[in-house]
A and B are shown apart, each in its own frame.
Chain A
Amino acid sequence: MRLTLAVHSISQTDFGPKTQLEGTRLQIDVEELRRCILQDRRLQSVDLEIARPGESCRAGYVFDIIEPRAKEPGSGVDFPGILGPVTPVGQGVTHVLRGAAVTVVDGGQPGGELGYESRRGGVSKILEMSGEAAKRSSYGDLQHLVMVPRAHPDIKRHAVLNALRVASCRAAVFLAQTALSQLPDSTLDFELEGPKSRNGNLPRVAYIGQIHGHQHGTESDEHILYGANTRGMMPTPLHPNEWMDGAVVTSYSWGGRGLETYFYQNHPIIGELYRLHQSGQANFVGAIATISSDQESEMKRNSMMAAQIAKWNLGADGVVLTKYAGGAPHTDMFETARQCEALGVKTVVLTSDTASDSRAESALLINTKEVNAIVSHSEGSDVRFQLPTVDRIIAGNSEVADIISGLSELTPDALCGIANNQGASRLQPIIY
């Protein structure tokens, strides 16, 4: 399977009379974009703003961040299962507006399982464009189209969230379609032969990633994998190119701190494994998508099956495992790693510090001697960012505007792009 990313660098984004890409300048006809978003009859209006690197601007609470991308006609469907029929992605040419992002802000209800507030209490995800936090965030140097879609008041919350998801994908495709007829600045090829690849006697490596944590459930109309909600899902081989090309988006889970669709599209771990592959250090044989379960028997079964697929279907010698944030997914990841090790497949896991007392002994929810290769992005609860007062607040509603305009300090878990479960984080716990 071969995917070519046609990369168009973006240095400037503005609203203007015509939606077009001129060199590295992206111009957006705001009314045309509005019509595109509001074709969804559940939405009554949408606020559209641009937030640029270094601007004194803060947005919240963030629903998701997506990189603008559009498939070359004939290459496949954009976001299959969400915007179009379910057909495979990961092949052909995909145009990318590198340096740009679509950032969707949730204007819906506070609290509860589907609300936009953080489940731990306190603020939910914030996009910060200036100061130290922006400098440390992967999103601080991007040109953001920030949109706040607003649903009709009688629309149920799950349908509002569904509308936010559809709008986020539509906007990403809308922007990137400006690049379709243009020559890219560069192209990146991603090609793997798959499990049958021999590639000398290089060690065979794979990725096992969770794409949802079911301790928080899903909505029946929630889009996660090719538009499906992943309830009852079993581990499944999912080609690394599919991860990067719109097969997966993040779930609604507000507990999913440090997870955005942007880093499925630019998956740091898949990127690293490709680098090992392309530089002849390892043979990247594939990836497995899985979930964490809320049930013991399902957890055991899924862990076992993911390990079996890694061993017998992919023939992996080593795997990288990630979780979908949280403590329950941590269990599933460790059990999967343990099962892999039992089959002779070497593992490394990406964890976060699950306790709050800074003691190394509390930091792992589970300690097993087999799972001994541990990388942590921490949650950085001991890191504080002093926030500047900002000129512009883009908020989902007036209550959130009041809260986030008054913020003076935040920890990384409330800031987009600093702690990240997909491998993008530069945070590391150092043992003192």
Chain B
Amino acid sequence: MTTEMEKAGIPVAQVTPMTLVAETVGSNRIIRGRSIVHPLGDVDLAPEEEHELRRMLVQRALDALASEDRTTA
């Protein structure tokens, strides 16, 4: 999916806990998600901490989009 959107010229940052899969199919901007059961969250954190984690992951995605290189963050 990522590569088809990128072929169409839309930059994609992929947040995924399964980075190996994303890497092998050729995704260019990969951000490590927290967990398969909650990629942008963490039930073990307090609500405000969890929100901060999510904000950080989204920020990493935005940074990756701004970057001109292949990135795994």
Contact = CB atoms under 8 A, between A and B. Distances in A.
Contacts of B33: 296
B71 interface: no
Interface stretch (B6-14, B16-24, B46-54, B59-67): B16-24
A217 B20 contact: no
Given A294-B35, A294-B36, A328 B24 contact: no
Contacts of A217: 37
Given A366-B24, A367-B24, A368-B24, A328 B18 contact: yes
B9 to A, nearest CB: 24
Interface of B: 17-21, 24, 32-37
A296 B21 contact: no
Interface of A: 215, 217, 294-297, 299, 328, 331, 334-335, 365-368
B37 A215 contact: yes
A245 B32 CA distance: 39
A46 to B, nearest CB: 34
Given A367-B24, A368-B24, A331 B18 contact: yes
A328 B20 contact: no
A294 B36 CA distance: 5
Minimum-distance CB pairs A-B, first 10: A294-B36, A215-B36, A296-B32, A295-B35, A294-B35, A296-B17, A366-B24, A331-B18, A294-B37, A331-B20
Nearest to A365: B21
B50 to A, nearest CB: 15
A331 B32 CA distance: 14
A142 B71 CA distance: 54
Contacts of A295: 17, 34-36
